[in-house]
A and B are shown apart, each in its own frame.
Chain A
């Protein structure tokens, strides 16, 4: 028994020495762990506040002014101060430039005072069906309080025989049934591509280094870009197969609609796929072993999963986390993908989400070619 303990201790000690001596892995593991815990601890909030909201006021009454002012006080909402039309607001909702649109019809106050049903229309971007619940509830709650306050203040309350007939009609747009799968799957396509393409590419060049075959390849007339493209093509084909499988399952099993232009989806998938492959090549150029490549890939995944809006709402993040999020290609993919599946995105609608991904791909691609070592030094 004592000898077994000695052997276990010897193995554990040896493993610890390996870890500590692999400086890059050890230091990055510790620093990234600490950094990530702090960053994600602050950044992730599944019940977001300050949801971008537009109030379209056709009533222009004391109620609508008070209501807007009261909404502004709600922690759940961030009211856009611009005067926008219904169409403008609706388009902004479609393009994910706002999340909630509150519309007060022209006859709201008149109907209210006459004891007729007075409606407030709340349109919410239901591509993320859960995270806007607080904001939606808040619009109704604030409306009821404002009406009560107004009636009390003007002494009209006594003239009512019953309750004021306030109706808050909530329209969950783009995902009326509030299907959680419709929220997850468009982002999941990007996430799966992220994991598989990145790891496969990152491993492929480091494998050559570890096997020792890189030394031979460097003596052949093979140029860095030839090597990189040659490495990317098979992985890209694997990505195509994967996407086909994911889409088949999404359409057939989960009944996910494709409301937008299929070309916009293809453009998004291509741009995102190529960018992910470039990141993979960059990682494999930097890493000296497959283990390091794996770790660097993981460090890239984690912020992508947590800060891209794939799992946790973008609007729930503090400003600084939103800035980080805007540096991640998956953020744009998730928005573009949800747009094309659920919000009738055309190629033109897709462009604002497409070019940042393409730019990232270009930057990562150039860095990968530049950092690819032509010598063993």
Chain B
């Protein structure tokens, strides 16, 4: 069981994107997340999304230099999941939902948790849209988003001219924007903000 391996090992595995750690974590926690989701009137797909978003939140928190777990990893993780379930309820019901106090994850007053929760959902939305692009567009935009100089991108991808590169980049980005805007999750996120 992954929780027996120790909290630092799990955090380290998430930081590194270790597939085995993520697989074991998935098997361990998904039944509990499904129970949370079903109890809130959501479905198994929501549970899987909550799992992914929660891992991303942990990843972002673990990147912060002053991050320290103030509880066990499982308590921390399930607390994040409860908050994510609450967020999804708000979107699906399109109304304000008050999460019961015992359901909320309690952290310090200056916590950035809510910001990270919303950001995690955006990351998954953009990632999903990005994966739907063709290989060439994905590679071009990947290099571009990583601030690779245009000359390097052109050399790497064998693009012959600057005008052609600019045109390709615009078309790929336009396609990405369309994919994002046509995703139902985009509208739900927009309504919350």
Q: Determine if chain A interacts with chain B.
A: no
Interface residues of B (CB under 8 A from A): none
